[in-house]
Amino acid sequence: MAELKVNREESLVEFAGFKFLLINSEDGLNVDRVQFHNAVIIDGNDRAFIRQIVRRIRSDNQPDIYLKPIFILKGININDPFVNKLVDGTLFSLDQIELIIPEVERILTKTKDLHFTNSLSFEAQMIEKTISFMYTCEIQDLEPIPYIYSSNNYSYPILSVNFRQRDEHIALDILEIAEREGIFDSTYIDRIYLCPSCQGGHLTYREVCPKCGSSNSTTEDIIHHFPCAYVGPLSDFTNEIDDQLDCPKCNKRLRHIGVDYDKPSVLHECKACDHKFQDFNVKAKCLACTTDNLVEQLKGKEIRKYSLTKKGELAAINGFVSTSKDIEEIIGTVKFETFVTMLKYEIERLRQTEGASNICAVHLSNPSQIYSKMGSEVQKVLLKDLVKVIRSNIRSSDIISFQSSSTIILSMNEIPTRIAKRILSEIIDMLKRLIATTFKDIDVEFEYEVIKLDYKLSPQLHIQQLTKAFG
Ligand SMILES: [Zn+2]
Ligand SMILES: [Zn+2]
Ligand SMILES: [Zn+2]
């Protein structure tokens, strides 16, 4: 039986070889210490404090901090759905610590599978964080929860925790990017509307005067008297003595609605400008920036449930470096799809002419080691430099593309394959020299491959063949 050691001075709980950081409300909010422990136990009755600590830990940028298991002591019933999605369990007392050990072990083991990289862009960084957390906690689906404290009214806690309330709409854009990259599949849940000025979703909808926009108005029924065909507002028919209605035109008393009269419509009167009208405009006032928007101008956004794909799981393990947009920004390259299309034409051309054309690939064998040592700006510089060297050694009619942030593919058309191989090996030597002089302490390993185009094979098979040797 393992011994439970509690050292309140050091905020340390030890059990079965695991170190827990015990945080209570007197300790303040410094979360740096989390990295030196296996898990966190929050000790406190104050829900606001618990929420704050959980947010601090989960929104940190270091995997050593944001992936740590978090438990709440004293079995406090957390009715905040946001916090609920971000903690790993509750304990009634420290004597129950044995019960959470399997969960802690499972999360820490899963964390060991992961390679972390410095992603090229903020978007890629957020995607990496989210899928890493999902992987370690074995969460398959990122579900939107209705949440009144979210500026979108729906929140994806694992991702949204990284944003201030007013920036939460960015989470929606990031999820869309991640889906385009194949990291998630999604299904429709609901639709929300956002203020076009500030992207806030806290809107109050009102019927307003079409002339002056005021929401201050009165409404009256319009009455149509059948016998004399008089049409007018209800107030024309009322009298001061009783609650009966009399026709102002023919003086007959109205009897039964549907029999001698009906109410075909209503009439609104604006109390601000006295304008009389039958149809309101509907406006949505943004409570964040006070812009009063016509509803047609609101920005509709779909709220979807996102599920991690196999590709997403692999990206969690290997590190998610870049989105296609990041790579598109590298000058001198074409989109991967464009490359495939042009490859198709070249294969088609070879069917009709004699000659040799080739495609080549340059692969960084250890991308996560490289990228984890560089900030995203430096990574972009590296990729740009690589492209520059390749570009200056091939013909201007040849094209370069990124299949991923670690694999560059290029065409070398109308030259014998053995010459293409020689040129590529020279390019690799130059790339190695470039890296050695520019990035002193970074060890980059390259692999490369050249294949001759075969008009009997599809572009996809060529690319598969070309890159199959790379890990
Ligand atoms: Zn607004
Ligand atoms: Zn008005
Ligand atoms: Zn009448």
Whole-prediction pTM: 0.75
- Minimum-distance ligand to the CA of 291? 1
What pLDDT, on the 0 to 100 scale, is given for residue 374? 74
Q: Which ligand is nearest to the CA of 255?
A: 3
Cβ-contact 410, 360 below 8 angstroms: yes
What are the Cα distances from residue 11, in Å, to 4, 319, 373?
14, 33, 33
193 Cα: distance to centroid of ligand 2 (angstroms): 26
- Cα 150 to averaged position of ligand 1 atoms, centre (Å): 14
Spatial distance between the Cα atoms of 428 and 271, rounded to a whole number of angstroms: 78
435-445 per-position pLDDT tens digit: 888 877 778 88
Cα–ligand 3 centroid distance for 220 (angstroms):
18
CA of 269 to the centre of ligand 1 (A): 28
Among 72-76, 252-256, 289-293, the minimum mean pLDDT is found in 72-76
Report how far ligand 3's centroid is from the alpha carbon of 357 (Å): 92
CA–centroid distance, 198 to ligand 1, in Å, is: 4
User: Taking residues 217-235, what's their average pLDDT?
Assistant: 94
User: How many angstroms separate the alpha carbon of residue 226 from the centre of ligand 3?
Assistant: 7
Could you say which ligand is closest to the alpha carbon of residue 194?
Answer: 1
Residue 471 reports pLDDT greater than 70 = no
Mean pLDDT of the chain: 91
Give me the DSSP letters along 340-393.
HHHHHHHHHHHHHS----EEEEEEES-HHHHHHHS-HHHHHHHHHHHHHHHHTT
Which ligand is closest to the CA of 245, given by its number? 3
Compute the distance from residue 266 Cα to the ligand 3 centre, in Å. 18
**In this structure, which ligand is nearest to the CA of 209?**
2
**Distance from Cα 195 to the centre of ligand 1, integer Å:** 5
Distance (Å) from CA 297 to ligand 1 centroid: 12
Handedness of CA 63, 87, 182, 324 (dihedral sign): negative
Nearest listed ligand to the Cα of residue 151: 1
Average pLDDT over residues 343-351: 94
CA distances from 373 to 112, 155, 368, 429, 444 (A): 18, 33, 8, 22, 11
What is the Cα–Cα distance from 155 to 176, expressed in whole angstroms? 15
Average of per-residue pLDDT across 217-224: 94
Ligand (nearest to CA of 298): 1
Residue 239 has pLDDT above 70, yes or no: yes
Domain range summary for the chain, segments of one domain joined by +: 5-112, 122-182+307-315, 219-278, 321-467
Decide if 243 contacts 253 (C-beta within 8 A): no
Distance 284 CA to ligand 1 centre (A): 10
- Ranking 130-139, 158-167, 397-406 by mean pLDDT, the lowest is 397-406
- Model confidence band, residue 76 (pLDDT cutoffs 50, 70, 90): low
Q: Give 276 Cα–ligand 3 centroid separation in angstroms.
A: 23
For 30-56, the pLDDT digits (tens) are: 788 999 999 999 987 788 889 999 999
| pLDDT surpasses 80 at 57 | yes
How many A from CA of 292 to the centre of ligand 2?
Answer: 15
Report the separation in Å between the CA atom of 201 and the middle of ligand 1, taken as the mean of its atom positions. Answer: 8
Q: Which CATH class is domain 321-467?
A: alpha beta
- pLDDT value, residue 311: 93
Predicted pLDDT at 442: 77
Banded model confidence at residue 238, pLDDT cuts 50, 70, 90: very high
Report, as an integer, the average pLDDT of 365-378.
Answer: 74
181-190, 234-243, 436-445: which is most confident: 181-190
Closest ligand to C-alpha of residue 269 is 2
Residue 167 Cα, ligand 1 centroid: separation in angstroms?
12
- CA 203 to ligand 2 center in whole angstroms: 21
CA atoms within 13 A on the CB side of 322: 23
Ligand 2 center–CA 94 separation, angstroms: 65
- Residue length, the chain? 471
Question: Which residues, 6+ apart, have CB-to-CB distance to 283 below 8 Å?
Answer: 205, 206, 208, 213, 215, 292, 293, 294, 295
**Ligand in closest contact with the CA of 281:** 2
Query: Could you tell me the distance, in angstroms and rounded to a whole number, from the CA of residue 166 to the centre of ligand 1?
Result: 10
Ligand nearest to the CA of 193: 1
Q: How confident is the model at residue 121 (pLDDT cuts 50, 70, 90)?
A: confident
Q: Is the pLDDT of residue 197 over 90?
A: yes
Any bridge partners for residue 111, and if so which? Answer: none
CA distance readout (Å), 366 to 31, 373, 401, 405: 32, 12, 19, 11
